[in-house]
Amino acid sequence: MGCTKSKSKRATAPMKMSESSLSVSKVIPKSLLNIRQEDPLEAFTDVTLISSSNRSEVFKCLDKSTRMLRILKRISKNKSENQLNQNIERPKEIKVWQVLDYPNLPRCYGLNETGDYHYIVMDFCEGERLTNKLREFQETEEKISIIMRQILSTVAYLHSKRIAHRNIDPNHILIEDGSLVHIKLVGFGKSTFLTGQKMMGQQGTSYFMSPEMIRGYYNEKCDEWSCGMIMYILLTGNIPYEGKSDIEIVEEIKTRPFQLNLKELKGISSQAILLLQHLLEIDPIARISASIALTHPWLVQANKKDSGISGIIGKLRKYESQTGLSQVVSEYISQTIEPDDEKEIIKAFQVFDTNRDGIISKKELLEGFSHVEGIKNAHGDVDRLISKIAELSETISYSEFLTLCLEQSKYVSKDNLFEIFKNLDINSQGKIAESDLKKVLDYKNKVSEEEWRNIITEADSNKDGYVDFDEFVASMNRK
């Protein structure tokens, strides 16, 4: 499932927030997706089937409200689910996407359920699959290191959420815009939650299966082995096994699991070889974890470039002054942001998120601010920001960070304010109602009726219960 987005409309300038304005945390989506009991298809047009299997279908479609391409995965319920019509065990993939929110994963915009199907609504990704790069791969170690750091940071995040992917291979790694700057990990159909018990069953592509998975019992370290195999292929261009079929390859792994041949690694740096040895350790207990691998010099050295964190901190401060409706527009823009603009924010998020758990804690935010403005000033800014953004958890997820860091002045202009207004006015009444905002933006179903009403009331100068275009413009330009 998939990762570049179609071009978005350019959308206006920062503004001050009144004392009565809704706090930021009420508008930005929180990290757990609710499952809606409704068919999502009515929200899309131009629905095209792109793949199918025994129990699922994947469609490309256009979101009517944001005008962005999306992926819609529909998973059939089995007969017993339909007949019993009761709370049954949902597919693991649905449960997994309820909790995932990370820069190197597609964004999930909705989970739905009807009597016959489960649905997942996600980013549409057109990035080039890493599989297509393997045959012609002639990149420097530095570029390969950047790719591997992103893959391993994503695995570390998954494992921190107690999730094993179990199907990491080049076909499930997308390189956005054909570049090597940013990757997305997809293919979560085989993923599962870690329970403390050993897993069983062979999953994924045979070339990338770990020896212990072939033997029968394994844990999440099977993902690190897969990462090691990808790194080996990228560095050498060699295929690890000689078997011509899955049966032959599996038998080869069982009897002669892959081991590095130093003769094949001529011209490769000693640091890269050392990391490979750690990732391709036969014994999963001795195998390096993704989180520890991220501290390896080979990965750290190639990723020390300027993060642009000073500019991001300035944007975080600007968000505090926005009105409730302006915050809504920021959330709307975050769903239509262009990939090149998101990359700067992704880079800064990963600088703040030092432990790679996919959230920024108050401590991590303080450390980032301190590097730019000193510890004394940082304390005041961070306390104020956290009090407005993360009232209860004192943490910021990636989706929240993305919304906070958007520079509205770049996206909102007189030329396209009307386009944004029309997209929020989904019933084409010439005015925005509470129900319009909820349908377009409340994809995590976390904002109360009263809070949506407050957003409308703040901008509704004539008190008719709606926001017309003039009121919309006035609210967006309020100082």
DSSP 159-181: HHTTEE----SGGGEEEGGGSSS
Mean of pLDDT values over 148-154:
94
Judge if pTM exceeds 0.75: yes
Average pLDDT over residues 126-134: 81
Candidates 253, 252, 249; CA nearest to 212 is: 253
Return the top range by mean pLDDT from 22-36, 160-174, 326-340.
160-174
What's the pLDDT score for residue 297?
93
The amino acid sitting at 85 is: N
In this model, does residue 397 exceed pLDDT 90? Answer: no
pLDDT band at 44 (very low <50, low <70, confident <90, very high): very high
- Here the tokens at position 155 are 């695995």
Across the range 151-160, mean pLDDT stands at: 94
Q: Is the pLDDT of residue 111 over 60?
A: yes
**pLDDT-derived band of residue 5, with 50, 70 and 90 as boundaries?**
very low
**Which residues have a Cβ under 8 Å from the Cβ of 75 and sit 6 or more positions away?**
55, 56, 91, 93, 94, 117, 118, 119, 120
Per-residue burial over 248-277, b if 16 or more Cβ lie within 10 Å, else e, is ebbebbeeebbeeeeeebeebeebbeebbe
pLDDT (0 to 100) of residue 276: 96
- Predicted local distance difference test score (pLDDT) of residue 476: 77
pLDDT over threshold 90, residue 60: yes
Segment 387-401 shows an average pLDDT of 71
Range picked from 69-83, 218-232, 261-275, 330-344 for highest mean pLDDT: 218-232
The CA distance from 470 to 266, in Å, is 68
Pairing of strands 163-164, 192-193: antiparallel
Residue range 240-258, pLDDT digits in tens: 888 888 899 999 998 888 8
Q: How many helices (H) and strands (E) does the chain have?
A: 22, 17
Per the rule left: phi > 0, alpha: psi between -120 and 50, beta: everything else, 342 is: alpha
**Is residue 16 over pLDDT 60?**
no
**224 vs 240, residue with greater confidence:** 224
The pLDDT of residue 368 is 81
Given a contact cutoff of 8 angstroms between Cβ atoms, the answer to whether 96 and 124 are in contact is: no
Which domains, and CATH codes, for the chain?
24-30+307-476 (1.10.238.10), 35-123 (3.30.200.20), 128-301 (1.10.510.10)
Q: Around Cβ 390, how many Cβ atoms within 10 Å?
A: 22
